[in-house]
């Protein structure tokens, strides 16, 4: 069987499965090889492979038979995009019709090891600088990571990256690892999570192999420990970490650490470790901005279009998602995956209606995040006034302006109606709320202080 014969078989299938099915499911199959009566296809996603196998497997085999080729089985291998090489180390499982479907590898499976003999964690092949979208909130962290990834003499040691969940710490660290390897395949990079560090330490203790353990950790050129907050409070692990750290610093080897907060804020971390961690370059990843989220979505969408060809994305949806899903990038990505899978499954285009239907839970979650009470609390904190004054009857400007700011934010960030907001502001009438909102809308264009207050407050809600 050749590419040409598959081309002809495909056309026959088009007639039997119909144009829509053809475009969605058959066209994305890329013929790879016929081996021992097994026809192998590359597919852009495991989902697609499973689906085709279940729904069209028999038809495809039959059609192949009709064209005089002997085949007994179909096999699907997942590649990121059509035409790309298959994922590393696929692990086949049996599909329903006896065909083999290689599942969309999860992180660990898809990843390749940088240095298997060091026993580090697997690196995710998608976490490179190419796929990292840079925006204001992460530009410093990105610049620092780039700098370290150039290799050369160690200037900041350690590089300490911190920030909330899903903001790209692991992505950046692994991007450094990939880039260092690319520049110099001989460089010994060891990437692992603090949890794995502890696990290996305990194992070494138990198996009386501390010499080997120390030897491995002291022989690397670059050590990366992800989520270091994990070892807080774990005394002997911290102790060992401290020694490893010092030994490497003494040898002028690069160390890169990540955590969910700044060194000084990690409770249960020894003082001497904290000060060691602070002695290099400490940079944080800020909560994502609307622009960054939109940028990330736009980048991901290209990938998804390749995977789910034929899916139409109506304009405005990405903007909606970037606005509504502010939690973290991981959730944002999950939402997009679900939308594409769902749309291709039901054969609809991705518009706002489908988005709301398909993402009810995620959207509800991000709704719940901001409540009127929370806004009132943050606004009164911000302006340093009492909550009772914010919602109370006093008309002094010092209270009235923050009150209007709070009203405005309630309208923008919650789903509450004006009367509902009014009730929560000491039983005010909805026209009063309306007036307050209008006032701020006008002021934010003319008064830079108000504009800045709004921006700061808005951000503080994104941060959660």
State the residues that interact with ligand ADP by CB under 6 A: 127, 131-133, 138, 163, 165-171, 296, 329-330, 333
Least spacing, CB of residue 106 vs ligand ADP, in Å: 12
Closer CB to ligand ADP, residue 15 or residue 261?
A: 261
How many other β-carbons are positioned within 10 Å of the β-carbon of residue 111? 20
Torsion, Cα 168 297 175 152, to 10 degrees, reads -100
Closer CB to Mg ion, residue 170 or residue 366?
A: 170
Q: Can you say how many angstroms the Cα of residue 225 is from the centroid of all Cα atoms in its chain? A: 19
Least spacing, CB of residue 229 vs ligand ADP, in Å: 12
Q: Which does 41 bind (CB under 5 to 8 A by kind): Mg ion, ligand ADP, none?
A: none
Q: b/e per residue, 413-439, with b = 16+ CB within 10 A?
A: bbebebeebbbbbeebeeebbeebbeb
229 binds Mg ion (CB under 5 A): no
Least spacing, CB of residue 390 vs Mg ion, in Å: 38
Structure tokens at 249: 């610093």
Tell me the residue number closest to ligand ADP, measured at CB: 168
Closer CB to ligand ADP, residue 173 or residue 440?
A: 173
Structure tokens at 251: 């040898």
How many other β-carbons are positioned within 10 Å of the β-carbon of residue 66? 10
Q: Which does 293 bind (CB under 5 to 8 A by kind): ligand ADP, Mg ion, none?
A: none
Least spacing, CB of residue 266 vs ligand ADP, in Å: 15
Closer CB to Mg ion, residue 168 or residue 422?
A: 168
Closer CB to ligand ADP, residue 189 or residue 450?
A: 189
Q: Check: CB of residue 246 under 8 Å from CB of residue 277.
A: no
Q: Which of residues 142-181 bind Mg ion (CB under 5 A)?
A: 169-170
CA gap 79, 310 in Å, rounded: 18
Sort 304 into a burial class: Cβ within 10 Å, 0-12 / 13-18 / 19+. Answer: buried
CA gap 184, 152 in Å, rounded: 11
Closer CB to ligand ADP, residue 15 or residue 136?
A: 136
Least spacing, CB of residue 336 vs ligand ADP, in Å: 11
Closer CB to Mg ion, residue 38 or residue 134?
A: 134
Give 3-state DSSP helix, strand, coil % of the chain, rounded to 5: 60, 10, 30
Least spacing, CB of residue 333 vs ligand ADP, in Å: 5
Least spacing, CB of residue 172 vs ligand ADP, in Å: 7
Closer CB to Mg ion, residue 173 or residue 372?
A: 173
Structure tokens at 162: 């911190």
Closer CB to Mg ion, residue 195 or residue 239?
A: 195
Binding mask 359-398 for Mg ion (x = CB under 5 A): ----------------------------------------
CA angle 282, 272, 244 (to 5 degrees): 80
Which residues touch 192 (CB under 8 Å, ≥6 apart)? 120, 121, 200, 224, 225, 226
Give long-range contacts, CB 8 A cutoff, 24+ apart: 396-404. Answer: 401/450, 403/436, 404/436, 404/437, 404/439, 404/440
Torsion, Cα 407 408 413 417, to 10 degrees, reads 60
Least spacing, CB of residue 226 vs Mg ion, in Å: 6
Q: Which of 290, 291, 292, 313 is nearest to 303 (CA)?
A: 313
Least spacing, CB of residue 454 vs ligand ADP, in Å: 25
Binding site for Mg ion (CB under 5 A): 169-170
């Amino acid at each position: 069987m050749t590419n040409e014969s598959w081309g002809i078989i495909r056309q026959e299938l088009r007639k039997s499965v119909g144009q829509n099915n053809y475009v969605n499911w058959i066209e994305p199959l890329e013929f790879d090889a016929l081996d021992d009566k097994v026809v192998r296809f590359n597919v852009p996603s495991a989902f697609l492979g499973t689906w085709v196998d279940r729904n069209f497997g028999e038809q495809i085999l039959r059609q192949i038979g009709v064209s005089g080729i002997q085949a007994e089985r179909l096999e699907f291998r997942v590649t990121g995009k059509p035409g790309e090489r298959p994922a590393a180390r696929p692990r086949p499982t049996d599909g329903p019709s006896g065909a083999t479907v290689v599942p969309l590898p999860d992180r660990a499976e898809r990843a390749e090891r940088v240095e298997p003999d060091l026993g580090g964690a697997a690196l995710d092949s998608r976490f490179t600088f190419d796929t990292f979208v840079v925006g204001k909130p992460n530009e410093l962290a990105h610049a620092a990571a780039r700098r370290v990834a150039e290799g050369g003499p160690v200037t900041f040691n350690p590089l300490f990256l911190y920030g909330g969940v899903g903001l790209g710490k692991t992505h950046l660290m692994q991007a450094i690892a990939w880039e260092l390897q690319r520049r110099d395949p001989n460089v010994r990079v060891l990437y692992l999570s603090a949890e794995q560090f502890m696990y290996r330490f305990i194992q070494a203790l138990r198996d009386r192999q501390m010499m080997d353990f120390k030897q491995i950790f002291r022989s690397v050129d670059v050590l990366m420990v992800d989520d270091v907050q994990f070892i807080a409070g774990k005394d002997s692990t911290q102790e060992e970490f401290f020694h490893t750290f010092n030994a490497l610093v003494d040898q002028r080897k690069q160390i890169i650490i990540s955590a969910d907060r700044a060194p000084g804020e990690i409770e249960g971390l020894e003082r001497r470790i904290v000060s060691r961690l602070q002695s290099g370059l400490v940079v944080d990843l800020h909560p994502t901005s609307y622009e960054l989220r939109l940028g990330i979505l736009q980048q991901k969408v290209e990938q998804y279009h390749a995977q789910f060809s034929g899916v139409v994305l109506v304009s405005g949806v990405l903007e909606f998602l970037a606005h509504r899903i502010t939690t973290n990038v991981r959730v944002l990505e999950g939402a997009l995956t679900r939308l594409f899978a769902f749309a291709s499954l039901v054969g609809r285009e991705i518009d706002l209606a489908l988005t709301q239907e398909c993402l009810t839970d995620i959207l509800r979650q991000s709704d719940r995040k901001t409540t009127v009470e929370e806004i009132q609390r943050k606004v009164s904190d911000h302006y340093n006034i009492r909550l009772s004054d914010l919602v109370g009857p006093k008309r002094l400007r010092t209270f009235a302006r923050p009150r209007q700011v709070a009203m405005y934010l309630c309208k923008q960030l919650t789903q509450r109606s004006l009367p509902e907001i009014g009730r929560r502001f000491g039983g005010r009438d909805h026209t009063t709320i309306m007036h307050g909102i209008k006032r701020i809308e006008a002021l934010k264009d003319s008064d830079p202080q108000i504009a800045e207050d709004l921006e700061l407050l808005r951000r503080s809600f994104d941060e959660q």
